[in-house]
Chains A and B, each alone.
Chain A
Amino acid sequence: MNAALVYALTGTALFVLGVAGLILQPHLLRKILAFNIMGSGIFLVMVGLAQRAGTPDPVPQAMVLTGIVVAIAATALALALARQLLDMSGEMRLPEEKSGKDRLDV
């Protein structure tokens, strides 16, 4: 096991944490943060695995950069939506995750 693999393993853990957070955290801001953690995990895996032979690889680094930009864009949109939701319903949560009862009508 070398350092690169440690990055990758950490990335895996972050990804899993992020996924669990995205799924379980009721507050949208936390969800968005969890998504970013998840993203970081992915980027770590990407870079870490690629350089497990020891040499740095610029290709995944560039891809991670692209990924980061995309993640920023998505985060921005998500935040905007969350804000909108907050403005409209007073809570930054999905309806089914509100503290009260299930208010979603099918």
Chain B
Amino acid sequence: MKTLLNVAVLFLAGAFGLALGWAILDLPVAAVNLPEQLTAQLDMSGVVHPVTAVLLNFRGYDTLLEIAVLLLALLGILALPRHVSDHQHRPFTANPVLQTLARVLVPLMLLVAGYILWAGAHRPGGAFQAGAVLAGAGVLLHLAGLLPAWVTPGRTLRAGLAVGLLVFIAVAVALMAQGTLLQYPPGWAGALILMIEASLTFSLGLILAGLYLILADSRAQA
């Protein structure tokens, strides 16, 4: 029974994959040439790098929701009922090497994050990548025993987690005064995007770190 199912699933998946593969081999030219339009409008976007332009301007709304998704994932993890009392806080392993490394690396990582954030405007990079570096710093600190796990984030931490999204929304709302949602006025686009990216970097760093730090805690039990 089980093997039959396996075979069936593999067969069906394979068949579908083959069909799909066969089908995409022969495709006409796309009717809409979006890169062309994009290039035409890139000047208006406030950034030079097309991907960042798409991410934060042309399809900035996607990104707004994407940040919400990320926050939501964290929220979902936070909302999981946990037996707080059972948690045995792992004593910080005072690994001096690791601690030293962390002390050296973390400022460096902050710097790198800042750079990636800034670079995003004209080359690959941006808030998410920067935030990931920040999160890495957080994880490192935790591993080095310098940062406790986030059992129940306090209000300040929650505000920090949410600030990126809130700033994003605030900008979006503010922009509606003179146009539609997230319609950057020409000339202001760059600055506003940078502001959003900065706050996003901060919050994303916290969120991504949080995904680890909240989960990290319960490992003590296992």
Q: Do A and B form a real pair? A: yes
For residue A94, CB closer than 8 A to chain B, the reply is no
- Interchain CB contact under 8 A, A70 and B222: no
For residue A83, CB closer than 8 A to chain B, the reply is yes
CB nearest to A51 among chain B residues:
B35
For residue A3, CB closer than 8 A to chain B, the reply is no
**8 A Cβ contacts from B120-178 to A:** 128
A24 CB, min distance to chain B CBs, angstroms:
6
Interface residues on A, range: 35 or more
- Interchain CB contact under 8 A, B62 and A63: yes
The A-B contact count (CB < 8 A) is 111
- Interchain CB contact under 8 A, A73 and B21: no
Bound Cα distance from A5 to B23, whole angstroms = 11
**Which of B's residues lie within 8 Å of A, judged by CB?**
5-6, 9-10, 13-14, 16-17, 20-21, 24-25, 27, 29-30, 34-35, 38, 50-55, 58-59, 62-63, 66, 69-70, 72-74, 76-77, 80, 128, 208, 211, 214-215, 218, 221-222
Pick 19 A–B contacts, CB within 8 A, sort by A: A1-B25, A9-B21, A12-B20, A16-B20, A24-B6, A57-B34, A58-B50, A58-B51, A58-B53, A58-B54, A59-B35, A63-B62, A66-B63, A69-B128, A70-B69, A72-B70, A77-B73, A80-B215, A84-B80
